[in-house]
Amino acid sequence: MLKIYGLKNCDTCRAARKWLTAKGVEHEFFDLRGISLDAETIHHWLAQVGLDTLLNKRGTTWRKLDDGDKQALDDAKAVQLMVTHPALIKRPVFCRDGVISVGFARNENDRKHMLDG
């Protein structure tokens, strides 16, 4: 089954879930603020997609961080920040059989990756 990780109030996450439902794709949603996502899971995601894809530097949560938290950012430090502040994870994160993809494409043709597998 396709698992989706995101925020329940995120417009992009809601659009993705609505689209998947319309396509008849069975999926399960996990609100990042409602679960305790562990560092091991985030490390696994990071290994697949990289820091630039997984870390959301455009949101309010990033902007509110202390400058010291933003400097000398390596994978280990980023993982700890994402564990502490789950809104720093770009969303939605789609997971099927341990393989992930991040983000919901605006273009219908680019959404096919969610239906593969």
Of 97, 93, 56, nearest to 78 (Cα)?
A: 56
Extract the tokens encoding 78.
């980023």
- At 83 the three-state DSSP class reads helix
- CA 44, CA 39: separation in Å to the nearest integer? 9
Beta bridge partners of 102: 93
pTM as predicted: 0.89
* Number of domains forming the structure of the chain: 1
Write the pLDDT tens digit of every residue in 21-68.
999 999 999 999 999 999 999 999 999 999 999 999 999 999 999 999
Q: Which residues participate in catalysis according to the annotation?
A: 10
Domain containing 71 — which CATH number? 3.40.30.10
Instruction: Domain of residue 104: give its range.
Output: 2-114
27 exposure class (CB count in 10 Å sphere: 0-12, 13-18, 19+): middle
